[in-house]
Amino acid sequence: MSSTSCSMVGECMDEGGEQKESRDKRKPSEKLKPVRPWTALIFWVLLNLIWIAALPMPAQHPVMEPNTGFREWHDMEVPEVIGRELPLHIECSFEPKTEADKSVRVVWSLRTDTVDDPIEVRTWDANLGDDCATSEHSVPGGDYVLHVELFYANGTKIDRSNVAEVSDISFHMQYWIYQPVSKEGFVAANLLGFTILVFDQSIRHRRRRRKLDKMTNLPLHKLRQKEEWEQLVDSMEGGDEADVERFVMPTANTAEAERERMRKQFAAQEEAQMEAATEGESDISEKEIMDLVGEFEGTEKGLKGDLEADEDIHTVRDIWKRIEEDET
């Protein structure tokens, strides 16, 4: 049983070595595979796209609409953006309700909400129906106040509750927060994307190294199982065909076929030994040969019947030890 096991193991190891060699040629080593940074690169591109989309988005400040009522005072806060001035857009319209209302005068002003030396952004003084043209301005961060007043032709101020009877007012303001720092935003987005790429690559390489270390320390039978599983996965993905015989449970027919194969193998080995003995002088006497062959010469005795298990062999490692002992 020992020599039989050694022969079987030797043949299996030869087959395994050939399969492993062919798989190594077909499939690059895991250590040589590059860590593809697709996730980090996609995130990098998304950061730039988000910044490009955010640049033209304004901060809206609707002040008045014809159906929302009149507001004499309106406060607006412009954020501080690293000391830069923000572009401001003003759009207004004062339409009279009747022809008689065209004599009503409108005065409005936008200035900084400070006690000392307020800065006026824009002032408009005209009659209802006149063109309150849109305007573009650049304003620093801070608090601003809009003041709107309407007067009759005789100079009397119109009460806020009566403004809707003489005019339809539309007033809008908006500013852009990100436009003054568009270049800085692109630099920050690319630096953040590069940092994420570096960290992503370092983490992936560290995980790959740990995985390879675990594979290096795996027992022999675990490595064998992993190789067989990779071979099956490769065949399912379109690679070489998997060796299905490795996954077939032994039955009576397969055991008989295995014994037949082993019998033919031993017969071939015996024939080769006999030919080698006839070609050269043998150091073994004829009596020793007869003692070695004995009653099994020319028969199949010893190759048929039930196999007996070797009590000393429990794992593949035990088979390797037995092979090493036989070689020494």
pLDDT at 8: 42
How many of the other CB atoms lie within 10 Å of CB of 106?
22
pLDDT at 321: 77
Quick one: which of 172, 168, 173, 163 has its CA closest to 67? Answer: 168
Q: Do residues 138 and 89 lie in contact, with contact meaning Cβ atoms separated by under 8 Å?
A: no
Q: pLDDT of 285-303, one tens digit each?
A: 666 666 655 555 666 666 6
> How many whole angstroms separate alpha carbon 203 and alpha carbon 46?
21
Residue 237 — pLDDT band, cuts 50, 70, 90?
low
- What is the arithmetic mean of pLDDT over 231-239? 68
pLDDT at 118: 84
Q: What is the DSSP string of 39-72?
A: HHHHHHHHHHHHHHHHTT--EEEEEE-TTT---S
pTM to 2 decimals? 0.48
Q: pLDDT of 118-156, one tens digit each?
A: 889 999 999 999 998 889 999 999 999 999 999 998 989
Q: How does DSSP classify residue 84?
A: B
pLDDT at 29: 45
pLDDT at 314: 75
The architecture in CATH of the region 58-177 reads Sandwich (2.60)
Q: pLDDT of 166-209, one tens digit each?
A: 999 999 999 999 888 888 888 988 888 888 888 888 888 888 77
Q: Report which of residues 23 and 170 the model is more confident about.
A: 170
Query: Residue 93: beta bridge partners?
Result: 170
Show me where the domains of the chain are located: 2-32+223-327, 34-57+180-217, 58-177
Q: Do residues 145 and 74 lie in contact, with contact meaning Cβ atoms separated by under 8 Å?
A: yes
Q: Quick one: which H or E segment has residue 125?
A: strand 120-127
pLDDT at 201: 80
Percent of the chain with pLDDT over 70: 68
User: Which own/partner pairs from 66-69 qualify as long-range (CB within 8 Å, at least 24 positions apart)?
Assistant: 66/168, 66/169, 66/170, 69/164
Q: Do residues 90 and 122 lie in contact, with contact meaning Cβ atoms separated by under 8 Å?
A: yes
> How many whole angstroms separate alpha carbon 119 and alpha carbon 109?
10
User: Which own/partner pairs from 285-292 qualify as long-range (CB within 8 Å, at least 24 positions apart)?
Assistant: none
Residue 156 phi, psi dihedral angles, 5° rounding: -75, 135
Q: In the chain, helix, strand, coil percent, each to 5?
A: 50, 20, 30
